[in-house]
Amino acid sequence: MSKKLAWYAGVVVLFAGALWAPLYNRVEPSVFGIPFFYWFQFCWIIVTAVATALAYKARL
Amino acid sequence: MNWPALTVFIILFVFVTVLGFYAARWRRGNLNSIDEWGLGGRRFGTLITWFLLGGDLYTAYTFIAVPALVFGRGAIGFFAVPYTLMVFPFVFMVFPRLWSVAKRHGYITAADFVRGRFDSRLLGLLVAVTGILATLPYIALQLVGIQVVIAAMGFDGTGLVGDLPLIIAFLILAAYTYTSGLRAPAMIAIVKDVLIYVTVIVAVIVIPFHLGGYGNIFKAIPTDKLLLAPPTDTSFGAYTAYATLAFGSALALFLYPHSVTGLLSASSRGAVKRNMALLPAYSLALALIALLGYMAVAAGVANLPEFASYFDRYGSSFAVPALFLHELPDWFSGLAFAAIAIGALVPAAIMSIAAANLFTRNIYREFLRPGCSEKHEAGTAKFVSLLVKVGALAFIVFLPNKYAIQLQLLGGIWIIQTLPAIVIGLYTRWLHRRALALGWLAGMAIGTWMAAAQHFSTSIYPLDVGGFTVAGYAALYSLAVNLSVCVALTFAFKLVGAQHDADATVSEDYDEDMPRLA
């Protein structure tokens, strides 16, 4: 059950990170000239995908 | 006429046509049963489901419209990224339940489930009609995707002659969907997805190389488009629009009939879950595709005289084809255009099958011909899938494309109104069936009104809260109204003792890994 709870909490964090525009609506820090807005959301896809894969592995 | 591009395009198109007809023999089943024709016999494993769902959800319209929005409007168009990012954890948690209960009871549509769960023919009908209404303009938009790439290869005739290649392509599609059912798009999806990945990988390496790197591309974007408009004293700027568009679209995606069809055709609950961990590969591709919009800005394609007439005709939708033609060799543009066109055929086929399943199962067999034979049912579905495609074709050929775009925008607002019955219904039947029907009605009315108030040009509604503007996705606002009505009326119905306990399902049906047919 606690594993399940951790996953649900994780989903809230992942969704909040995706939806809370003040968090990422900025140019700096940019990487190779790519503004933060773009590379952050790109990385967030990977973070979310890894979290979902872990949830699958944990048989949730 | 661009012969190198056209040659590559035609070779690939002929190849998938052969595959489409051949698919009837693949994992041979009795195609006179709707379960076999319309769901591929629920026999697709993890890999095929991955190609099928990827090919189904990421449509040609996505590949044209997302970069077009980024090209025209900047950062707001990037909402597609948080949107696709949220879809898969959400579906991972909720929709394996739908797969299990559908397998157990032989449901082939979400409306089947709602009808059984709430013992309500009316609610089943509402879900079916909403699904069909939301799907038809979506099919029409796939045609717009094909139209743009055909024009890009130099077919710029007008009238019926100009539309001839489109008509031929769609008639071929209609023929093999009729004979092979869901097996055809499942097989073609493999080709489509491989072509899309090749196109995207080449485009995001080669084009920035020509344009002097990603830093240069972003430097070419006007500062007001590079980020979302920040909040002011009287509004949240673009923040709420961005977040609600992403969240609302994520909630709505798997309520669409074509998503449900793809999901239910999986061979096991595990295949569904595994896919939710694997499908984000397409989200990465989509984020890169969105950036093509900025590459088109940096390449300055909108100001090139050879493309002027196309931009006049297709607007920002021509940004991606123009970028390919300008930056890549012609034969490779042909491959990319084939990827987009085949990328239209796969979802168009699945959508027409899904709409046909809904009509046949939840309207025809439920109300018009109860107790018809299995063969008659499958025959009707095949015929309706033809009808649906011819209708979409006529819509695009005879009416301005803007109507299809506006209707598809409305479709997103409409389909989300089925969320209380389907998603909440997967967990509890506490909500009363009549409350659900009235909530649906309220949501449909408010949502349609909100879009009409914006003259159907945008689904963002500027909600005024005491002089402060909260701009948000009309689908989400109307869903809030729908849910409030559902909850309030359920209390009211329970208070007057309107109990209703008939439920075709039991709670174990939702969690089983290997359900046996009831």
Which of B78, B81, B85, B473 would you mutate first to test chain A, the one with the most A CBs within 10 A? Answer: B85
Q: Please tell me the predicted confidence (pLDDT) of residue B15.
A: 87
pLDDT-derived band at B516 (thresholds 50, 70, 90) equals low
Q: Could B88 and A25 be called an inter-chain contact, meaning their C-beta atoms sit closer than 8 Å?
A: no
At residue A25, does pLDDT exceed 60?
Answer: yes
Residue predicted with more confidence, B165 or B128: B128
Residue A42 CA to residue B76 CA, distance in Å, equals 15
- 3-class SS at B95? coil
- Pair B213, A32: CB distance under 8 Å: yes
Q: Please tell me the predicted confidence (pLDDT) of residue B36.
A: 87
Helix, strand, coil percentages in chain A from 3-state DSSP, rounded to 5: 75, 5, 25
What's the token pair of residue B515?
């359900």
- Give the rounded distance of the alpha carbon of B147 from its chain centre: 18
Region B447-473: mean pLDDT is 88
pLDDT-derived band at B65 (thresholds 50, 70, 90) equals confident
B94 vs chain A: nearest CA distance in angstroms? 11
Q: Is A40 on the interface with B (CB under 8 A)?
A: no
Q: Please tell me the predicted confidence (pLDDT) of residue B437.
A: 95
Q: Could B239 and A25 be called an inter-chain contact, meaning their C-beta atoms sit closer than 8 Å?
A: yes
Q: Is B220 on the interface with A (CB under 8 A)?
A: no
- Quick one: closest CA in A to B78, which residue? A38
- Pair B266, B40: CB distance under 8 Å: no
Q: Please give the full DSSP string across B240-293, using - where no structure is assigned.
A: HHHHHHHHHHHHHHTTSHHHHHHHHTBS-HHHHHHHHHHTHHHHHHHHHHHHHH
Q: What's the whole-number average pLDDT of chain B?
A: 87
pLDDT in tens, B347-374: 998 999 999 999 999 999 988 888 888 8
Buried b (16+ CB within 10 A) or exposed e, B45-58: ebebbbbbbbbbbb
Residue with tokens 């998503």, as numbered in its chain = B259
How many Å from the N-terminal Cα to the C-terminal Cα in chain A?
9
Q: Please tell me the predicted confidence (pLDDT) of residue B425.
A: 93
Considering only the beta carbons, identify the residue of B92, B238, B281 that sits closest to A55: B92
pLDDT-derived band at B24 (thresholds 50, 70, 90) equals confident
Q: Could A56 and B93 be called an inter-chain contact, meaning their C-beta atoms sit closer than 8 Å?
A: no
At residue B201, does pLDDT exceed 60?
Answer: yes
Q: Is B213 on the interface with A (CB under 8 A)?
A: yes
Considering only the beta carbons, identify the residue of B82, B218, B273 that sits closest to A41: B82
Q: Please tell me the predicted confidence (pLDDT) of residue B159.
A: 65
Hey, CA dihedral for B506, B490, B135, A19, is it positive or negative?
negative
pLDDT in tens, B404-422: 777 888 899 999 999 999 9
Q: Is B232 on the interface with A (CB under 8 A)?
A: no
pLDDT in tens, B5-21: 888 888 888 888 888 88
Q: Could B277 and A14 be called an inter-chain contact, meaning their C-beta atoms sit closer than 8 Å?
A: no
Among B450, B442, B517, smallest CA distance to B482 is for: B442
What's the token pair of residue B31?
């195609």
pLDDT in tens, B130-155: 999 999 888 888 888 888 888 888 77
pTM of the model: 0.92
Q: Please tell me the predicted confidence (pLDDT) of residue A8.
A: 87
Residue predicted with more confidence, B299 or B419: B419
Q: Please tell me the predicted confidence (pLDDT) of residue B517.
A: 63
Tell me which chain A residues have a C-beta less than 8 angstroms from the C-beta of B511: none
Region B502-507: mean pLDDT is 81
Among A41, A29, A44, A20, smallest CA distance to B231 is for: A20
What's the token pair of residue B13?
């198109």
B291 vs chain A: nearest CA distance in angstroms? 9
E strand or H helix at B473: strand B468-473
Q: Is B218 on the interface with A (CB under 8 A)?
A: yes
Q: Please tell me the predicted confidence (pLDDT) of residue A1.
A: 60
Q: How many CB pairs under 8 A join A and B?
A: 101
- Choose the most confident range, by mean pLDDT, from B28-32, B193-197, B398-402, B422-426: B422-426
- 3-class SS at B238? coil
Q: Please tell me the predicted confidence (pLDDT) of residue B370.
A: 86
Rounded to two decimals, the ipTM of the complex is: 0.94
Q: Please tell me the predicted confidence (pLDDT) of residue B144.
A: 83
Q: Could B78 and A37 be called an inter-chain contact, meaning their C-beta atoms sit closer than 8 Å?
A: yes
Residue predicted with more confidence, B53 or B157: B53
pLDDT-derived band at B167 (thresholds 50, 70, 90) equals confident
Q: Could A27 and B88 be called an inter-chain contact, meaning their C-beta atoms sit closer than 8 Å?
A: no
Q: Please tell me the predicted confidence (pLDDT) of residue B444.
A: 95
- Pair B345, B61: CB distance under 8 Å: no
What's the token pair of residue B310?
């196309």
pLDDT-derived band at B176 (thresholds 50, 70, 90) equals confident
Q: Please tell me the predicted confidence (pLDDT) of residue B292.
A: 92
Among B370, B90, B143, B452, smallest CA distance to B249 is for: B90
Q: Please tell me the predicted confidence (pLDDT) of residue B508.
A: 80
At residue B230, does pLDDT exceed 70?
Answer: yes
Q: Could B81 and A42 be called an inter-chain contact, meaning their C-beta atoms sit closer than 8 Å?
A: yes
Region B291-299: mean pLDDT is 91
